Structure 1
Amino acid sequence: MTQTLAHRWRFFRAGGFDQVQLETPADLAALRGLDQKLWASLACPVSDLELDRRMLDYIDLNRDGRIRAPEILDVVDWTLARLADPGVLFQEGPLRLQSLTGDAEGTRLRLAAQRLLDVLGRPTDDSLALADTDDLALLFPPHEYNGDGLVPAALSPDAELQAAIADIIACLGAETDRSGEAAIGEEQIAAFFEQARQLHAWQARAVEQGLEVFGEGTGAAVEALSAVRGKVDDYFTRVAMAEFDPRAAVLMNAQEEELVRLASLSLADAGELAGLPLAVIQHGDRLPLGKGLNPAWQSAIDELQERVVRPIYGEQDSLSSAQWRHLLALCGDYLAWQAEAPQPAIAGVLARERILELVDQGVEARLLALVEADKAVAEAADGLVELDKLIRLRHGLLRLLRNFVSFQCFYSRQDKAVFQAGTLYIDGKSCDLVVEVDDIEAHAKVAAASDCFLLYCTCTRRGEPVRGKETLNIVAAVTAGTEGDLQAGRHGLFYDRAGNDWDATVVKLMQNAISIREAFWSPYRRISNLVSEQVQKLASSRDADMVSKAAGTLEDTAGAASAAPPAFDIARFAGIFAAIGLAIGALGTALAAVVTGILSLAWWQVPLLLLGVLLAISGPSMLLAWFKLRRRSLGPILDGNGWAVNAQARISIPFGTALTQMAVLPSDSDRALRDPYAEKPRLWPWVLALSLVAGLGYYAWSTGMFAQAPAEPAAPAEVSQAPTE
């Protein structure tokens, strides 16, 4: 893509790169000719942006949740083609109907606008504001067709269809109609009835094959037969054994010993009798259904007779073996049919009877007819949709371009950029570069390349949700001041763009340089922390040793009470005293050498020496911080959120100072400098230190360490004697 030369572009320098200025309608008209290598960004997500979400959805034509450069170009061309005066994009206020073009598209939009004004009760007005189309129910009442091919329950006055729509939504979920109501579309209707027809075909096969011989009570009849099947089969098998061998006739009945045992028990509960045969085999090939049955099975046999035997054979008091096999065959075919029953997902939500009813009522065809009737008004309804789109682009398109093609809003500091979620107050600072994130760990992996000091916080607002959310995650860049006490677990307060306050808790830090001044003091701070930690460890260790030795001494006291105390042996401590003396001497020698070196310098060299020492200690840290501060970039912070930043987008030291504000007292405030609870200064440590230095200095002076060594005498010159005449 080559840059169009016919248009004269204007650029401004910020963030380390040249950014295009979009100030006139001509700039927008020529945007397609601007080389995309000069764009600040090439793609961004539609979520977590401080822009009208419906406008972003209009731009995101493929509904993938992202806006790319080609979609930006298309929507700019679409907007300019419908405005007779594109200059309104750079102005505030409502969209006036006279700003629309006079062609067919503009006429259609003007008619849609007039219909909307009539609905709003303002037929004489000639302008529409953004709030006029916020309520989609005004543009598209749910009881009227709106051309989107979706059918809400309110669209039909038929109670059966309303119930059917509610059932389909319960099974497959809902889509959102243009009216804002839950609705279903052609795809959902087809998916639902495809499953419903499978169940209906299976049910119809039972009728065709005569499987439901018991009518509506078939299921209960099969259950009643299955409950006694094993026991009845057992009875007819015993009868067959007796016919096979007469000697088995007695053995196939209950054993006498078992009857004797039962006779001694209370038989109020018939459960003890369940193991006995169903009936004595003397009844032969006919099983009694009334008298002569095992009492434990009487109720189950009564259920069999009521639900199975009577519907087929009528009233009878016994059941033959042939009749039993016939009943088993009838129920066996039913059970095999039941085993082939389909298991559609909708059957887990709706009863089988309800699904079959919806198919029998022809609901599918009636719903599809509603969809077609809704689509028939698509052309007229699309005029209102395009009107809503144009009104929203009129208010938000230029702002999107100044945060996408360039980062003008971010670097001008006149208004927050669309990706800035609000302001975080923490540790005496306010951070303006705050971005909402979804996954903290995933974002941190990308944002590490920004070289910024980042705070990841979890924000909560219990009981007062904002846009349906009570929690959210943010990342804030600390670009000025010092690290201070920032650490995981610290709490702050986050204000979103609407002014809502959230409790913020730091959950992760990404530590980088914040300022050169902090880098100057960081070596001393690290040394101080190291010394403090070592002193604390040493003190803790000595305290533990003291306690341990004291405990051991107390344990040994009882046994050693009669022993005489050992005599003081000065020889044991001679080495200690000598070591102490050597240490003091070495310290004095070193101090004397330092003082001697300093005194040997001219007075103007002493400040240079101190400055050199400071630079030697703090210089490397400051140099490293300077390099990192020059590399700070906005790009990785946005890339971690799904942006495709196309430029360096640096955050310089002066700009970082503007993004993070420090606590400053008001200029006209009074300040009391005396703190009644401040620690009182103690002079004795300083007196002791000065006395020690003075003593060591006197010792060095008295021993001649400061005296200059005497100069060696010069060698006498040789005297030559001239010969005498």
Structure 2
Amino acid sequence: MTQATPLTPHPQATTSTQGATSPPGRQAGTAHRWQFIRAGGTDQVVFRSGEDIARIGELDQKLWVALACPTRGIDFDPRTLDLIDADHDGRVRPPEVVAACEWVCARLRNPDVLLQGSDVLTLGDLDGDTPAGARLHEEARRLLQIQGKPEADTLTLADIADRGELLAAMRFNGDGIVTPDTAQDDAVRAAIAEVMRVHGSVPDRHKATPGIDRARTEAFFGEVQVARDWHVQADAGDRTLMPLGDATLAAADAANKVQAKLDDFFARCRVAAFDAQAVTALNPSPKAYDELGANTLDLQAEPIADLPLAPVTPRCVLPLQGTSLNPAWADAIAVFAARTVVPLLGARDEFPEAFSETDWLAIKQQLAPLQALMAKRPGNWAAELPLDKLDALLAAREPLLALIKDDEAAEEHNALLVDLEKLIRLQRDLVVLLNNFVSFKAFYRREGAIFQAGTLYLDGRSCELTVQVQDTAKHAVLAGLAKTCLAYCDCTRQGQKMSIVAAFTAGDVDFLFVGRNGVFYDRQGRDWDATITKLIENPTSVAQAFFAPYKKFVRVIEEQVAKRAAAQEAAGQTGLTGFATRLTTADQAHAADAAKVPTAVPRPTGRVDVGTVAAIGVALGSISAVLVAIFGKFVDLGQWIPVALLGIVLAISGPSMLIAWLKLRQRSLGPILDASGWAINGRMKVNVRLGGMLSQTARVPPGARRIARDPYRDRHGATGVAAAAVLVLAMVVLAWRMDWLDNRLPAALQHGPTAAAAPVQLHNG
């Protein structure tokens, strides 16, 4: 599949909502009428027909919900995404989605079948009027024929998903690699084995069986051909080249082994004949023999082999045997004499004792043509083989190359097989991808978006907005901008581990903290142990924000009380420890005190000073006076008391509620997905109503009833009764002050005109 041309960021089509020009390379035609829905604060396209899919390239990319998504870490068939990902970079972008839509629609007679999402391809749905559709139709028929179903009219994804079974049924699979089992001739099979031995093997596409490809085969037979050409030149019938026939090669080999030493010996003899004074210097010195004698001697040792072949004299003759010959070279010279000297020069009486330089030059002259040919001998493994073996290998060259050619020709069928798999996968998955990429229909209709990893059960609620995370620290930096309460969890199951982030969009967050455990169910229904590792706190509702200041105030008081209690406990423990220490050392301290004369009686420090008591009393009195004055002013408000109470509540909870309202308006899905590798084009709001659906708290099912009271409920006893009595008394006083009870109270207790007029009437009477 070729890579689609990247789209430029200019308007690409004319839609029903805004006008735009057609993209480059596409002729302007009738404007396609799209339909949109409004969800998450964004207009999202609705795919009603196959024409919507076929013309997706005309939809302005500014109206796409997403501009990129990863191929891994989402609940979508990775094989389908790999087929769409043209550049194989692990991300799918709009040009690749457009290319996939156009590719599949060009091969179907009616693209409306894509809306069905079926993995069964009816051969009649292929457009046989186009070359691409006709080739796929023909390949589908061929595949059904191989599977033994020639009369079938449908092809399923299961029929081609396991391509290994299909390739196993074919002799040639299109990878250009042949194995010994591919060959049907013993000679060709032996040649394949020889190529693998010399140049190694490459795994076949099916079951990774070792085989050979064209490059290895051509290199192998090239070496064989070079070796055979050299052998042809070494014709045993050419007396100039081979004076001894087949034995000439052995004679040349024996001469080559001693040539350097012979040249050295005769050169030394020539110098000695030139000047007799050089004889001593040209022979080994006594010092050299002293060094040899200092070690254990080995006749084949390198120091002995480095000595001349024989003592250097002006006579320039070499004994071919005897004690005057260098013992390290005795065997090589003997072979040289038997295979080279005698066959070429004939048997002579003087040879065992005197082999002259003239004889040596004659031998070199006779072997010169062969030596020149030997210098051209190929330096490969094939040069060691005889001519008949090389001819046998070359006879298998053409049949073997024909096998490779036939296998390479099957690659077209293999490519069509991949296209069939791609077509069926797109027919099944393309609409799902569009509803999770171009629009987020699957998410806002709560059908399970591909980015949702599963459901987390924790803190008495279920969280459906969960996303798989690769790097928690990196993800949290960007995801925190979503203004959503996020809990990062590590999930483990049977040795497997993954990380997720769950959005808590309803309920309170008072008991969410790092280390709390829950259960996570992935999209396949498997349960994982989940533990919170990081928490990003944000309000989940305005109601929660209303009580937040009071909860924080109570929490601060509890913390301060706990700190003071801990401090008092520590002080008490310290005092008890000191007292116990003094008791254990009382006898020693008494003896020491008796020896000393007391100078003064210390003043007890445990008593409270009278001035301190007076100061505390004055302070408490002042505080009481202030509280009484405030309460009096509050009571004097009369009918405005409820307004005052409401003002106090708003002053405390108002800022928290305002901040929560602002954050809830900004709560978005985009940063969460962007941190996971997506490129979200819109804001994708998560309002309170949607949040209440994504995070559902525990509720008793409708129709259920409680059959018994909680036997372990808290019992407040007298404290609860006293608190209730004080509350009732306060309400009565408030009602009396507000004249709410004047009609029901005696005249003496009323504040209205009736109570004021009663004494006058009694006096007149």
SS in 2 for 1:114: helix
Q: 2:624 aligns with which of 576, 588, 594?
A: 588
**Counterparts in 2 of 1:369 and 1:607: CA distance versus 1, 3 Å:** farther
Distance 1:316 1:533 in 2: 112
Q: Is the 8 A contact 1:423 1:434 kept in 2?
A: yes
1:405 paired residue number:
438
CA distance in 1 between counterparts of 2:83 and 2:95 reads: 14
Alignment partners' CA distance in 2, 1:88 and 1:682: 71
110, 128, 132: which one pairs with 1:85? 110
Residue identity over aligned pairs, in percent, reads: 39
CA–CA distance in structure 2, aligned partners of residues 62 and 74 of structure 1? 12
The residue type paired with residue 599 of structure 1 is: V
Q: Deviations over 1:415-445 (max 9, x none)?
A: 1111111111112121111111222222222
Q: State the distance in 2 between where 1:395 and 1:75 align.
A: 13
Tell me the residue number matched to 1:128.
155
SS of 1:547's partner is: helix
Describe the shift of the 1:535–1:487 C-alpha distance in structure 2 as closer, same or farther (beyond 3 A).
Answer: same
Q: What secondary structure is seen at the aligned counterpart in 2 of 1:56?
A: helix
The equivalent residue for 1:662 is 697
CA deviation after TM superposition for structure 1 residue 128, in Å: 1.9
CA contact (8 A) 1:49 1:419 kept: yes
The reply to whether residue 640 of structure 1 matches residue 675 of structure 2 is: yes
Secondary structure at the aligned position of 2:66 is classed as coil
Unaligned runs of 5+ in 1: 197-208, 215-239, 245-280, 291-300, 324-354, 464-469, 699-725
Kindly name which structure, 1 or 2, has the bigger radius of gyration based on alpha carbons.
2
User: Conserved in 2, the CA contact under 8 Å of 1:12 and 1:21?
Assistant: yes
TM superposition score normalised by structure 1: 0.67
- AA in 2 matched with 1:489: G
- Give TM-score, length-normalised by structure 2: 0.64
1:350-399 CA-to-partner distances (Å, cap 9, x unmatched) read: xxxxx989x99999x99998765433222222222211111111100111
Deviation at 1:548, TM superposition (A): 2.2
**Structure 2 contact 179–212 (Cα < 8 Å) conserved:** no
Q: Residues 252-651 of structure 1 correspond to what in structure 2 (within 5 A)?
A: 285-286=292-293, 289=296, 373-413=406-446, 415-462=447-494, 470-556=496-582, 558=586, 559=589, 572-603=608-639, 605-651=640-686
Query: Does the C-alpha gap of structure 1 residues 521 and 182 become closer, same or farther in structure 2, counting only changes over 3 Å?
Result: farther
Q: Is the 8 A contact 2:54 2:111 kept in 1?
A: no
For the residues of structure 2 that align with 1:98 and 1:493, how far apart are their CA atoms? 48
Q: Is the 8 A contact 1:136 1:180 kept in 2?
A: no
Q: Cα deviations across residues 2-26 of structure 1 (Å, max 9, x unaligned)? A: 4225211111000111111111112
Q: 1:570 to 1:110 in 2, by over 3 A?
A: closer
CA-to-aligned-CA distance 1:67-88 (integer Å, 9 cap, x gap): 1111111111111111112111
Aligned mates of 1:168, 1:410 — CA distance in 2: 56
1:64 aligns with 2:101: no
Q: 1:285 to 1:151 in 2, by over 3 A?
A: closer
SS in 2 for 1:42: strand
Residue 653 in structure 1 maps to residue 688 in structure 2: yes
Listed one character per residue, the Cα deviations across residues 489-518 of structure 1 (whole Å, up to 9, x for unaligned) are 222211111111122222222222222222
- The aligned amino acid for 1:130 is L
Size of the alignment, in residue pairs? 562
| Counterpart AA for 1:615 | L
Runs (5+) with no aligned partner, structure 2: 1-10, 16-30, 224-252, 259-283, 311-320, 330-379, 734-765
Query: In structure 1, how many angstroms separate the alpha carbons of the residues matched to 2:167 and 2:34?
Result: 43
Corresponding residue SS for 1:419: coil
Could you tell me which residue of structure 1 aligns to residue 22 of structure 2? none
Q: Structure 2: which amino acid aligns with 1:141?
A: A
Shift of 1:644: 1.4
Say whether the 8 Å CA contact 1:142–1:152 is kept in structure 2.
Answer: no
Say whether the 8 Å CA contact 2:67–2:681 is kept in structure 1.
yes
Post-superposition Cα deviations, 1:555-574, rounded to whole Å, max 9, x if no partner, equal 45633798999787999521
SS at 1:140 equivalent: helix
Structure 1: how far apart are the matches of 2:481 and 2:183?
A: 57
Aligned residue runs from structure 1 range 10-89, under 5 A: 10-89=35-114
Q: Retained in 2: the 8 A contact 1:143–1:154?
A: no
Task: Give the superposition deviation at 1:146.
Answer: 2.8
Q: Secondary structure at the match of 1:435?
A: strand
- Would the aligned equivalents of 1:286 and 1:320 in 2 still touch at CA under 8 Å? no
| Aligned match of 1:229 | none
- Once residues 52 and 551 of structure 2 are traced to their aligned partners in structure 1, the CA distance between those partners, rounded to angstroms, is 53
CA drift at 1:628? 0.9
User: 2:643 and 2:449 mapped to 1: Cα distance?
Assistant: 47
Q: Relative to 1, partners in 2 of residues 1:583 and 1:356: Cα closer, same or farther, differing over 3 Å? A: farther
* TM-aligned CA distance change 1:454 to 1:684, over 3 Å: closer
Q: What do you get for the CA RMSD once the two structures are aligned?
A: 4.7
CA distance in 2, matches of 1:411, 1:692: 48
Residues 1:502 and 1:127: Cα distance change in structure 2 (over 3 Å): same
Contact 2:50 2:113 in 1 (8 A): no
Whole-Å Cα distance in 1 between the matches of residues 622 and 209 of structure 2? 89
Q: C-alpha deviations, 1:338-358, integer Å up to 9, x for none?
A: xxxxxxxxxxxxxxxxx989x
The 1-side partners of 2:402 and 2:195 are apart by: 14
3-state SS of paired residue (1:406): coil
